[in-house]
Structure 1
């Protein structure tokens, strides 16, 4: 039994196809198939039911795959130990970022991070929280940046910063003339929301639910981007809530529609996520230090009330 064979088994289990698995492993399909066959012969069991389309794991195959994930992850730790011993901070690092954080945070830290750690090859993807959890669990992401807490047994969270919610309220809206917002002022039925699947949407809904009963059918208008929510709000279709960093680049005219909350401000907790196996921790630490250092100069809020992204 070899680590390579287990790696091939995991690839087939994920792709449910030998040809696609071989492509992801950068080997020929006959080579991959032969190695998996050798493993099955050695164990005297079938890991895959090849009669099914797509290919499925047998019952014992499911148990083997679960154990193979642990073994392959632990094998990566050996190189990790060597890298840390040598003080080497480099190599490929796969990072996921949720859509409501990517456009504001990434430009703030990326250039500084690349300059400080030129040997790290960053691969960055914009992913939903659900996709991030799945990919970290399966070993396809080294780390991610998302709103927390997520309460997932496979994932560790290191807080980067707390980002307050800010009201964007156009003229002629009932709350436009209020100098400071209170959470009790919010009405979910005139709130413009992000589409389902965005954790920021869940945070806004949780904030409103805390004070008023509502029917989910009242949600009238949703969008896939914060920029669209702002434009819809300008058209008089309702108010919206923005993450604080999204307010920094607004035009002076748009900033006149910003309304801050009475402290403690409702806020989201933004964290660096990684697998509990703690691989590539030297890079995780480096990223945490760079982002934390930069963000301190952008967010000065101290008194905040964290709103969980978990749907209530």
Structure 2
């Protein structure tokens, strides 16, 4: 049994196709098939049911895949140990970022990080929290930036900052005359929301439900981006809530529509998350330090109440 064979097993389990798995592993399909056959012969079992389309794991194959993930992760840790001993921070690093954080945070730290760590080849992908968790557990992401806490036993979280919610309230709205607003002022019926799948949307819903009982079917209008929510609000279609960093790029006219909450300010917790195996922890540390050093100057809120991103 070899580590290479286990890599092949994981690739087939993921793609459910020998040809696609071979392409992923940069080998020919006959080479991959031969190695899988050798492994099955050695173990005297079938890992894959080839009669099914797409290919499926056998019952014992499912258990082998779980163990293969552990073995491959541990083998990768050897290179981590060597890199850390040498003080080397480099290589490919796959980072996921949720959509409501990507446009504001990425420009703040990316240039500085690349300049300080030129040997790290960052591959950044915008993903929902659900996809991020799946990809971290499958080994397709090294880390991610997401709203927490996630209460997932396989994932570790390191807080980067707390980002307050800010009301965006257009003229002639019932709350427009208020200098500051309270959570109890919110009415979900006149709230513009992000579409389903965004954790910031779930946070807003959780915030409103903490005070009033609303049904999901009462939501009137949802959009895929915060920028669209602002434009819809400008048209008088309702108010919305924005993450604090998104308010920094508004024009002066739009900033006049911002209303901060009474303390403690509702806020989301934004963290760097990664698998509990802590692979590539030296690069994770470098990203955390880079972001933390920059974000302190942008967000200095202390008296906050964390709103969970988990759907309730």
TM-score using structure 2 length: 1.00
Give deviations 1:193-226, integer Å, cap 9, x for gaps.
0000000000000000000111211101000000
Cα distance between partner residues in 2 of 1:146 and 1:109: 16
- Runs of at least 5 residues in structure 2 that lack an aligned partner in the other structure: none
Is the counterpart of residue 16 in structure 1 residue 16 in structure 2? yes
Give deviations 1:215-274, integer Å, cap 9, x for gaps.
211101000000000011011110000000000010000000000001110000000000
Aligned residue for 2:263, secondary structure, equals: coil
Match in the other structure for 2:286 = 286
Is the counterpart of residue 223 in structure 1 residue 223 in structure 2? yes
Root mean square deviation of aligned Cα: 0.4
Cα distance between partner residues in 2 of 1:22 and 1:220: 48
Q: How does 1:165-184 map to 2 (within 5 A)?
A: 165-184=165-184
Cα distance between partner residues in 2 of 1:4 and 1:250: 52
Match in the other structure for 1:148 = 148
Aligned structure 1 segments of 4 or more residues deviating by more than 3 angstroms: none
Cα distance between partner residues in 1 of 2:194 and 2:22: 39
Aligned residue for 1:260, secondary structure, equals: strand
How many residues are aligned here? 312
Match in the other structure for 1:78 = 78
Match in the other structure for 1:127 = 127
Match in the other structure for 2:233 = 233
- Runs of at least 5 residues in structure 1 that lack an aligned partner in the other structure: none
Match in the other structure for 1:301 = 301
Cα distance between partner residues in 1 of 2:99 and 2:176: 28
TM-score using structure 1 length: 1.00
